[in-house]
């Protein structure tokens, strides 16, 4: 064998070994960098966690390593900008991110949770309590943190398709929350943002507040003190399409971002515009 051939074969062996090591260490198949102007806009605002989501992508794009896993095999659909997002069947499919301090209010006193959601039904099959599903959240018994909720069109509280977000004491019970209650069309994308802020206090909000935005517009703001909420550092995982497996969301969820500060309405409106335009 000539020296040239031997050298080429040695280089090939090194390349194959390097690729194998990279794949094993970093799970290259599930890690993708920002691929759209929307991803770029979100990452420019420094989220502590960002999951663009599709059935094949589980990596946290923020750089903080909070990679998730799918349970079940959701299919993909298309978001308004053409990006892919998973469709959950409302029965047994969801996405789990392990517990991390970045997912808690207590780390900085502020948590912002941003996502796009598309309910594919107005009457969920696997609901809980008065007739709602927890379509995203962090909480289990004795370890409650926060949750995003959507009510069935028909429920015992007369809250047709209300979409809300709550902050809880670790012990659970009633949470402090904000909401919007508009007519919902199945199959229509909604840009949702929940803010929990214990830092910006004043005489109106002595211990802080919750806020909910729809499509980049503030729709409701409420006092944490109304329910004596003092957020704690829980140990539950964060889940998407369910919270604690007691109810399941039927529809699509994509572009989930978590921030450790409160995004301005201008930033949220810009995110909405980037996706829809």
Beta-carbon count within 10 A of 130 CB: 12
User: How far is residue 130 from each of residues 127, 156, 264, measured CA to CA in Å?
Assistant: 8, 5, 33
Please tell me the predicted confidence (pLDDT) of residue 34: 53
Cα–Cα distance, 273 to 139 (Å, whole number): 31
pTM above 0.85, yes or no: yes
Cα–Cα distance, 6 to 156 (Å, whole number): 76
Tell me the per-residue pLDDT of 172-205, one tens digit each, with 9 for 90 and over: 999 999 999 999 999 999 999 999 999 999 999 9
Please tell me the predicted confidence (pLDDT) of residue 207: 98
Tell me the per-residue pLDDT of 246-260, one tens digit each, with 9 for 90 and over: 999 999 999 999 999
Longest CA span, the chain: 84
User: What CATH fold (topology level) applies to the domain 31-276?
Assistant: Jelly Rolls (2.60.120)
Across the range 85-104, mean pLDDT stands at 98
- pLDDT higher than threshold 90 for residue 211: yes
Of 56-60, 130-134, 167-171, 175-179, give the lowest mean pLDDT range. Answer: 56-60
Residue ranges of the domains in the chain?
1-28, 31-276
């Amino acid at each position: 064998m000539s020296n040239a051939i031997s050298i080429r074969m040695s280089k090939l062996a090194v390349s194959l070994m390097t690729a194998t090591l990279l794949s094993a260490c970093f799970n290259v198949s599930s890690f993708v960098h920002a691929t759209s102007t929307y991803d770029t806009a979100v990452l420019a605002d420094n989220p502590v966690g960002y999951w663009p989501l599709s059935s094949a992508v589980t990596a946290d794009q923020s750089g903080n390593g909070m990679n998730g896993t799918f349970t079940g095999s959701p299919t993909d659909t298309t978001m308004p900008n053409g990006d892919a997002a998973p469709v959950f069947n409302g029965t047994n499919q969801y996405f789990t991110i392990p517990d991390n301090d970045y997912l808690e209010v207590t780390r900085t006193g502020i948590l912002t949770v941003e996502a796009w959601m598309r309910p594919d039904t107005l009457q969920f099959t696997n609901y809980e309590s008065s007739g709602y599903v927890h379509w995203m959240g962090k909480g289990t018994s004795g370890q409650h943190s926060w949750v995003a909720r959507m009510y069935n069109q028909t429920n015992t509280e007369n809250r047709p398709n209300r979409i809300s977000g709550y902050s809880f004491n670790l012990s659970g019970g009633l949470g402090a929350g904000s909401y919007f209650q508009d007519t919902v069309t199945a199959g229509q994308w909604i840009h949702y943002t929940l803010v929990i802020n214990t830092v910006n206090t004043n005489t109106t909000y002595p211990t802080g507040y919750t806020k909910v935005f729809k499509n980049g517009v503030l729709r409701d703001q409420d006092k944490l003190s109304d329910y004596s909420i003092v957020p704690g550092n829980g140990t539950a995982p964060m889940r998407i399409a369910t919270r604690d497996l007691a109810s399941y969301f039927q529809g699509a969820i994509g572009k989930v971002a978590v921030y450790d500060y409160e995004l301005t309405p201008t930033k949220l409106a810009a995110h909405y515009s980037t996706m829809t335009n």
